[in-house]
Amino acid sequence: MWKFKKDLSMGKAVEYKFLPEASVDSTQTCPIQITSGQFAGIVYRYGKIDFKEDGNDGLNVTMEIEMIKFPEGFDQADKDFTQTAGEIFVKIIESQVESDDDKDLEADVHEDHLDNA
């Protein structure tokens, strides 16, 4: 398991894509392929993820990462890689929250329209 702490000073954003065709079954998370930067080509999936408050109004995230495709000799505990995987995780969560907010807004607008009709 690796610990990740969000670091807003990260440089250029890493690009990634989901590989749903590589999913073994529906009980696992969708594999992710990093498509840019020093880890381009690596494929992994998230396993168990724990959130714990750090006592300073922050949140520590501990996650299991299952490596699927990586270069020979790659150090799975590489700090830069775990930071990158953590940043991607945060982007996914933020994207989902934004998507959920948009859906709620659409539902609210629709309900308001019906109420005012």
The DSSP string of 40-99 is TT-EEEEEEEEEEE-SSS-EEEEEEEEEEE--TT--TT-HHHHHHHHHHHHHHHHHHHHH
User: What pLDDT is recorded for position 45?
Assistant: 94
Which sequence spans correspond to the domains of the chain?
2-116
Mean pLDDT over each residue of the chain, to the nearest integer: 78
Q: Is the pLDDT of residue 108 over 80?
A: no
Mean pLDDT of 37-62: 88
User: What pLDDT is recorded for position 8?
Assistant: 43
Query: What's the predicted TM-score (pTM) here?
Result: 0.71
Cβ within 8 Å of residue 34, ≥6 positions away: 14, 15, 16, 40, 41, 42, 43, 84, 88
Q: Is the pLDDT of residue 20 over 90?
A: no
Q: Is the pLDDT of residue 100 over 50?
A: yes
